[in-house]
Structure 1
Amino acid sequence: MKKAFLLILLTCMNFLATFAQSDSGIEMATGLRSSGKIYVVVLVLLVIFVGFIIYLFTIDRRIGRLEKRNKKDD
C-alpha cells in the first residue's frame, strides 16, 4: 500500500513539474532537429544503451556459470 501511494505521489509531482516549465523551447534541440542531427544523437545514445545492456547480460551469464561451477565443486 505504501509503495502504491508513493508511486502515485511521485507521478503526480512529475506531472505537475512538466507544467511548471516554460514553452520557450530549447534552442539547441530546435537547431539539431532542423538540421537533422538529432537523429545522429539519438542513434549514438541507442547504440551506447544497447551495448551496455549486452555487456550486462554477458556479465550475468558469466557469473551464473561461475556460481554453478562453484556449487558443483562443493
Structure 2
Amino acid sequence: MLLLAALLLPVLNAAAQQAADSPEMADTLRQSGKIYVVVAVITVVLAGLLAFLISLDRKVGRLERELKDN
C-alpha cells in the first residue's frame, strides 16, 4: 500500500498543480454566466437527494415501528 501511494503521489500532485494553474473551464463558465446554471443544477440534484433520503428515513422508521409492535 505504501509503495502504491509513493508511486501515485507525484502523479496526483502534478495533476493537481496543472488544474490549479489553469481553471479555464471555470473562467469560461463564469464569463458567459453559465456558472449559475451549473450551480442551480447541482443544487436541484442535491435537494432531490436530500428529499429522497428524508422520505426513505421516514419509511424505514415506520417499518421499524410496525415490526416493534408485532
Fold match, TM over 0.5? Answer: yes
**Aligned equivalents of 1:45, 1:60: Cα separation in 2:** 22
Residue 37 (structure 1) aligns with: 34
Which residue does the alignment assign to 1:58? 55
Mark the runs of 5 or more structure 1 residues left unpaired by the alignment: 1-19
In the TM superposition, what is the alpha-carbon distance from 1:21 to its structure 2 partner? Answer: 4.5
What RMSD in Å do the two structures reach over aligned CA positions?
Answer: 1.5
Residue 45 (structure 2) pairs with residue 48 (structure 1):
yes
1:28 aligns to 2:39 (yes or no): no
| Residues in 2 aligned to 1:25 and 1:38: alpha-carbon distance in whole angstroms | 17
The AA in structure 1 aligned to 2:43 is L
Residue 67 of structure 1 deviates from its aligned partner by 0.5
Work out the percentage of aligned pairs sharing the same amino acid. Answer: 48
Runs of 4+ in 1 over 2 A off after TM superposition: 20-25
In the comparison of the two structures, how many residue pairs are matched?
Answer: 55
* 5+ long unaligned stretches in structure 2: 1-15
Q: Counterpart amino acid of 2:66?
A: R
